[in-house]
């Protein structure tokens, strides 16, 4: 039997959620495009995230920053010097591998991410670790993950620029402008959904690890002495985001604390939120970090600008500390597919809550060759389309149409039949229970509205 991941990849492609990038050219190293349904699901996930993190609160604002940032930003953040994975090379095929992944996959250590090249060499030697092809491995070397490019007509050291290695840097760089223009007092947060690029060595597991992805950040600025309390608060908030806002089952979410040698030297504490991706097991989807004042200290130092905050209450001036919640959109999207994918006797269902579903309903004429039914169904379709994303289907028989909508997660199927012509009502079939009820056409709008808001 195919593994869950294979089924999700195949459904995503077949139904237009996610296509392999540049496919007519044979694809391009784990790049993906969101198709029409994937795009709609993406927007709905973003909407849920935005409601939870920004709109429902009074202390968080959202920005959208540029992909190119001044190269010094990446020196200040430590990415130019230290944003590196440790690699080993197969001495025969010259393929490179992430050393920590090889060590973890061989079952030698559970978390090998913090190992230094020297320690890795020792482990490889002691355990006679070979490459996946069974060949000898080279000694370990650091490999920087920033994606480098040149801006402007000349390629020289002076024109080097990097694509954002992590999206949140705009937030630190814009912190002062946001604080001043919004007249915020601590504590307050800045949220952003933005692209990030990493020259990952091993790209794998569909959307899970790619070189281009999106991050969903919420960076919360606090008085340094308040950071621990807010850190605890945000950890609870993130748990609730996944279980309440995303409606993920509690048992599919787990928290993992970083060991002291795994986290950045300045971080006081760091936890990952993990999601259970079927056969891949629990994997990180978000990092929640208690970062201290490092980010603003560094940018103040490298830019020469004063980024300090004057506290009216204490009459003290200081750089605020940061509590960071940095989630990966692509992993959240993938987790959403895993969470709501169901196989039943005769059908496959994406049982999304209506508010996340790409289409809120589908409208069918019972028979496609009866113009009165088609016209009436069109009327219903056109009226609902004003307020919701609605699908139309007049192919095949009703049963097939239901299954086709179940597979893309449409919560309600509305059928216009002969009774509809006389009574101005329709059959509404529920995706999850497969039961049907008659609803007056004039009530359909409020029916859908209520179901979406309750979900």
Binding site for ligand ATP (CB under 6 A): 166, 198, 200, 209-210, 213, 215, 284-287, 326-328, 330-331
The strand pair at 160-162 and 141-144 is best described as: unpaired
Closest distance of CB 9 from ligand ATP, Å:
15
Smallest gap, in angstroms, from Cβ of residue 306 to ligand ATP? 28
Query: Token digits for 366?
Result: 């019972």
Residue 9 or 362: the one with the smaller Cβ distance to ligand ATP is 9
Nearest distance in Å: CB 198, ligand ATP: 5
Q: How far is the CB of 24 from ligand ATP (least distance, A)?
A: 24
The SS3 of residue 149 is: strand
Give the up-direction half-sphere exposure of residue 120: CA atoms within 13 A in the CB hemisphere: 27
Taking the least distance from each CB to ligand ATP, the nearer of 31 and 348 is 31
> Nearer Cβ to ligand ATP, position 200 or 406?
200
294: tokens are 């490092």
- Cβ pair 356, 264 in contact under 8 A: no
Closer residue to ligand ATP, CB minimum distance, 114 or 439: 114
Among 399, 336, 330, 327, which residue's Cα sits nearest to residue 364? 399
Answer yes or no: are the C-beta atoms of 60 and 218 closer than 8 Å.
yes
Looking at beta carbons only, is 284 or 445 nearer to ligand ATP? 284
Q: How far is the CB of 443 from ligand ATP (least distance, A)?
A: 42
The rounded distance, in Å, linking the Cα atoms of 415 and 429 is 8
Minimum distance, C-beta of residue 223 to ligand ATP, in the bound complex (Å)? 24
Work out how close the CB of 378 gets to ligand ATP at its nearest, in angstroms, rounded to a whole number. Answer: 42
Give 328 or 354: the residue with its C-beta nearer to ligand ATP: 328
Between 204 and 385, CB nearer to ligand ATP? 204
Q: Report the alpha-carbon distance of residue 407 to residue 345 in Å, rounded.
A: 13
Task: Return all residues near 15 (Cβ < 8 A) that are at least 6 apart.
Answer: 35, 37, 407, 408
Q: Which is nearer to ligand ATP, 137 or 273 (CB)?
A: 273
Closest distance to ligand ATP from the beta carbon of 358 (Å): 22
Q: Which residues contact 441 (CB under 8 A, 6 or more apart)?
A: 380, 383, 420, 424, 425, 426
Helix (H, G, I), strand (E, B) or coil at 303: helix
Number of neighbours of residue 229 by Cβ within 10 angstroms: 12
Task: Report the alpha-carbon distance of residue 408 to residue 410 in Å, rounded.
Answer: 6
């Amino acid at each position: 039997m195919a593994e869950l991941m294979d089924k999700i990849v195949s459904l995503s492609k077949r139904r237009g959620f996610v296509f392999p990038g540049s496919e007519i050219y044979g694809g391009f190293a784990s790049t993906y495009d969101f198709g029409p349904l994937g795009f709609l699901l993406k927007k709905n996930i973003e909407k849920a995230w935005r409601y939870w993190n920004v709109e429902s609160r009074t202390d968080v604002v959202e920005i959208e920053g540029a992909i190119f940032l001044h190269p010094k930003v990446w020196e200040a953040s430590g990415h130019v010097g230290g944003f590196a994975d440790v690699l080993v090379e197969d001495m025969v095929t010259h393929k490179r591998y992430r050393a920590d992944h090889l060590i973890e996959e061989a079952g030698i250590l559970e978390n090998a991410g913090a190992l230094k090249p020297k320690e890795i060499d020792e482990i490889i030697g002691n355990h006679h670790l070979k490459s996946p092809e069974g060949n000898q491995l080279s000694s370990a070397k650091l490999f920087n993950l920033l994606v480098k490019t040149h801006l402007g007509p000349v390629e020289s050291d002076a024109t080097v620029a990097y694509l954002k290695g992590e999206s949140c840097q705009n937030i630190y760089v814009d912190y002062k402008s946001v604080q001043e223009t919004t007249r915020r007092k601590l504590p307050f947060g800045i949220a952003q959904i933005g692209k990030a690029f990493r020259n990952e060595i091993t790209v794998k597991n569909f959307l899970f690890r790619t070189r281009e992805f999106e991050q969903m950040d919420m960076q919360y600025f606090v008085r340094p002495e308040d950071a621990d309390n807010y850190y605890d608060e945000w950890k609870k908030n993130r748990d609730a985001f996944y279980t309440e806002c995303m409606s993920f089952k509690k048992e599919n979410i787990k928290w993992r604390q970083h060991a002291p040698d795994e986290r950045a030297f300045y971080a006081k504490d760091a936890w990952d939120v993990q999601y259970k991706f079927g056969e891949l097991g629990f994997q990180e989807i978000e990092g929640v970090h208690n970062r201290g004042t490092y980010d603003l200290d560094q940018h103040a130092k490298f830019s020469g600008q004063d980024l300090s905050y004057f506290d009216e209450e204490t009459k003290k001036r200081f750089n605020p500390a940061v509590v960071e919640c940095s989630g990966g959109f692509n992993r959240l999207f993938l987790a959403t597919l895993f969470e709501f994918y169901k196989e039943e006797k005769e059908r496959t269902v994406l049982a999304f809550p209506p508010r996340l579903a790409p289409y809120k309903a589908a409208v069918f004429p019972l028979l496609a060759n009866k113009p009165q039914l088609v016209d009436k169904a069109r009327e219903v379709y056109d009226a609902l389309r004003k307020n919701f994303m609605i699908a139309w289907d007049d192919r095949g028989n009703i049963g097939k149409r239901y299954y086709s909508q179940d597979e893309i997660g449409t919560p309600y199927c509305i059928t216009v039949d002969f009774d509809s012509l006389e009574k101005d009502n329709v059959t509404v079939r529920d995706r999850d229970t497969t039961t049907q009820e008659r609803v007056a056409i004039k009530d359909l709008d409020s029916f859908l509205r209520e179901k979406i808001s309750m979900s």
